[in-house]
Amino acid sequence: MEQRERSGSKKRRRSRCLLVGAGVAVLIFIIVVVAVAVSLQDKTDFKTTFVRRCEEFTSKDKQLDCETAWTAFEKAYVGKDPCEVPMGAYDPLIAATPFKPSCNRMMFWSKTKDVVHDFTAKKDCFVTLEDTLLGSVLDGLTWCGKEGSTETFTTGCPGWTQCEHNPVRSFWNRISAGFADAACGDVTAMLNGSITTPFHPASIFGSIEVKRFNSTKMRTLNVVLVTDDTSPVANCSNPSLKDLQKELDKGIKYFCKEVTDSKIEACGSDPQKPCGSCW
């Protein structure tokens, strides 16, 4: 009797082991399938977003082909180490979707993104980088590739400061350079007067854009220094702004005006206020 009970117990244990093993195998299979599905979904969703935004932007300009733009874009990073995508990798994309100069309407910014875009959303006075085709399509998105893969990934990508040549950072650096190359006429820059250094040489504006301003195309740089109503930190005499003047290509005139954020908000909300007299 005891022997039969032991034998039955062994059989039950083997059965349980087989069931557990089968369960683990099924779980592993499900994880693999989900991982593959998520990877494919990442690329599908990302491309769908890219093309949709592109087509919305180009609805009035049929000369731009969004599928061509996508192909040029993904070639910059697909199959590459996500920390080894230099600015130059996006040169073919810039060539496929060149910037159209908006003389006297181009707006640059540094540490004032929310103020600038709140203003431009209400008043069609200026064109920012995020109002261009590439800027509007990729604003707020994250992407990268991986060595040996043909996929686009939106998760597990290196952060902005994690490595210098990551796909997102290199993209924004490259199109910032292209936008600055196109700067012409009277150009405006909105800088932050609520910090001690409104112009920082390590910012994109300081390290890339200002260095590309060309006096043969650009007449003036008008700095709008956005200050707090009650306790401004910097004014137009700030030493960093003196450094900005020194960086400008000889021949470009420089002007600066301190404007409170409440005045900018009021100006943007007043449909009767012409762009030229907002500040």
What is the DSSP track for 5-26? HHHHHHHHHHHHHHHHHHHHHH
Distance CA(141)–CA(129), nearest Å, equals: 15
102-127 pLDDT per residue, tens: 999 999 999 999 999 999 998 888 99
Q: Locate the domains of the chain by residue range.
A: 2-277
Domain 2-277 has CATH 1.20.82.10: yes
Give me the pLDDT at residue 31, please. Answer: 42
Give me the pLDDT at residue 35, please. Answer: 43
- Residue numbers in the chain where pLDDT is lower than 70: 1-44, 60-63, 276-277
Q: Based on the number of CB atoms within 10 Å of its own CB, is 73 exposed (0-12), middle (13-18) or buried (19 or more)?
A: buried
| Helix H or strand E encompassing 212 | helix 210-212
φ, ψ of residue 57 in degrees (nearest 5) = -70, -40
Place of tokens 């390590």: 202
Give me the pLDDT at residue 41, please. Answer: 46
Distance CA(9)–CA(12), nearest Å, equals: 5
8 A C-beta contact, residue 208 and residue 108: no
Distance CA(242)–CA(252), nearest Å, equals: 14
